[in-house]
């Protein structure tokens, strides 16, 4: 008899974990720049509705084109009597998507059997004879599938268990929960038809409930999709979670692109009519929030690397990251305008290898112009992360001021809304910049240098 794994029992590899983290950061980027103009939102939602209906139906064999699907959804009419069933599938799925959207704020309804059957009835009316909105009482077989759906006599118990686990998972990470929910409905196959579409509907319900967006699995990814469901049947949820996350990221990117277009138009209008003080404040606030987001990614990267190193050790190595609050906006403004500030610690990284210990303080200061800046556009006045080293009871000293220091990292800063790194190139004996660098790369390189060149 099949069983339904608990969410806590799912294990993910590093690729899956980082994809989920990237998706959540992209969602934060979208949410922090809301609201978009209502007409822009309406256009995005209409586009996404067409994409969701077309791809979900196409995966199940519906031959309508994307253009035909959008036309049916916009007009509400069946354009070809000879393809009435396919047109009805499109209309029904569009209505079901809106019905599911009404459930987003009703968390208790996600795990109700009545919610499932009600949406299924909407989905399959005039498509599935006698079966719309009804849990199957017959056995079904999936051609070519390694694992077959449970027999009807086992279905009620398994469905009740699945819905109970869904009810108890309110604190779960949304992407993980959405993937698990998708798999659960697809695996149980509670209806005679429409199970794949129901699985994708409930997946998106969970994602919207987690303040994310729809994950549109494309019909061209159909083979990968079915293979990933089979892997999940065998207990490996990595490929399915990665597919859902990549699909979600494509949707989130639509919002990011729309926001950028709106920002560009705002900037153009300001250049024509002149920028008011309110606009200056708004722009500066947005710049600060973007800077905060990037710096929080840096601290998170160091924390994750520290955890991995400590967990991988036999106990002889330990890395701890102790964090402090990020700069408030007034202090950030002070540092940018050549002022100074005290107690700007952001996080300490403490290393222990055997009996040897060393710690580094990452603190905020003002970026000072140097010859290396000539080769980089967009630096300007900046608040950056600086690093000092402390051993034992000795006073902390800036790494750049330590003689023959083997640690090459000098500054972490934000350039053109992306994380950049300033480091000392030992070969050229000069400072160089790495632009648009992954915060995880900064953390990995720094910690590797500490272990290989400082803790010896």
User: From the annotation, which residues make up the binding site for ATP?
Assistant: 193-200, 225-226
How far from chain centre, in Å, is Cα 370?
A: 36
Question: Does the annotation mark 189 as catalytic?
Answer: yes
Q: Binding site: residue ranges?
A: 193-200, 225-226
Listed in order, strand segments (DSSP E) in 251-400 are 317-323, 345-353, 356-366, 383-390, 397-398
- CA-CA-CA-CA torsion sign (269, 260, 413, 25): positive
| Residue 272: strand, helix, or coil | helix
- DSSP β-ladder status, 418-425 and 409-415: antiparallel
- 375-381 own/partner pairs: CB under 8 Å, 24+ apart: 375/433, 376/415, 376/420, 376/433, 376/435, 377/416, 378/415, 378/416, 379/413, 379/415, 381/336, 381/337, 381/338
Structure tokens at 263: 């920002």
| Residue 71: strand, helix, or coil | helix
Phi-psi map region of 73: left, alpha, beta (phi>0 left; psi -120 to 50 alpha): alpha
CA 152/CA 340 separation, integer angstroms = 71
420 strand-pairing partners: 413
Catalytic residue (choose from 120, 182, 189, 367): 189
* Torsion on CA atoms 73, 75, 76, 79, rounded to nearest 10: -90
| Residues with a known catalytic role | 189
């Amino acid at each position: 008899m099949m069983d339904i794994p608990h969410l806590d029992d799912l294990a993910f590899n590093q690729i899956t974990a980082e994809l989920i983290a990237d998706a959540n950061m992209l969602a934060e980027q979208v949410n922090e720049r809301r609201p978009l103009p209502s007409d822009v939102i309406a256009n995005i939602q209409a586009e996404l509705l067409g994409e969701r209906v077309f791809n979900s139906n196409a995966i199940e064999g519906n031959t309508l084109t994307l253009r035909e699907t959008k036309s049916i959804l916009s007009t509400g009419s069946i354009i070809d009597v000879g393809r009435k069933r396919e047109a009805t599938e499109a209309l029904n799925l569009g209505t079901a998507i809106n019905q599911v959207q009404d459930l987003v704020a009703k968390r208790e309804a996600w795990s109700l059997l009545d919610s499932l059957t009600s949406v299924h009835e909407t989905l399959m009316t005039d498509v599935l004879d006698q079966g719309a909105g009804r849990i199957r009482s017959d056995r079904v077989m999936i051609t070519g599938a390694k694992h077959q759906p449970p027999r009807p006599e086992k279905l009620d118990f398994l469905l009740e268990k699945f819905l109970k686990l869904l009810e108890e998972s309110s604190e779960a990470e949304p992407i993980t929960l959405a993937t698990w929910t998708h798999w659960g409905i697809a695996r149980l196959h509670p209806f005679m038809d429409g199970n794949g579409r129901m699985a994708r509907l409930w997946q998106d319900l969970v994602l919207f409930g987690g303040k994310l967006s729809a994950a549109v699995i494309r019909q061209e990814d159909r083979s990968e999709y079915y293979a990933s469901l089979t892997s999940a049947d065998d207990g490996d949820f990595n490929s399915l979670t990665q597919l859902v996350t990549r699909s979600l990221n494509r949707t989130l990117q639509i919002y990011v692109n729309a926001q950028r277009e709106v920002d560009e138009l705002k900037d153009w209008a300001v250049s024509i009519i002149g920028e008011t003080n309110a606009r200056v404040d708004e722009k500066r606030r947005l710049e600060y929030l973007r800077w905060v987001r990037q710096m929080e990614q840096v601290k998170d990267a160091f924390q994750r690397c520290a955890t991995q190193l400590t967990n991988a050790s036999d106990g002889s190595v330990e890395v701890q990251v102790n964090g402090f609050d990020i700069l408030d906006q007034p202090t950030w403004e002070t540092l940018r305008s050549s002022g100074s500030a005290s107690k700007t610690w952001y996080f300490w990284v403490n290393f222990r290898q055997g009996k040897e210990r060393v710690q580094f303080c990452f603190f905020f200061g003002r970026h000072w112009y140097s010859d290396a800046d000539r080769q980089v556009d967009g630096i300007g006045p900046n608040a950056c992360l600086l690093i000092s080293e402390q051993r034992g009871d000795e006073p902390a000293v800036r790494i750049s001021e330590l003689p023959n220091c083997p640690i090459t990292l000098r500054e972490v800063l934000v350039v053109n809304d992306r994380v950049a790194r300033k480091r000392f190139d030992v070969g050229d004996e000069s400072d160089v910049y790495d632009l648009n660098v992954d915060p995880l790369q900064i953390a990995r390189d720094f910690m590797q240098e500490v272990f290989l060149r400082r803790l010896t």
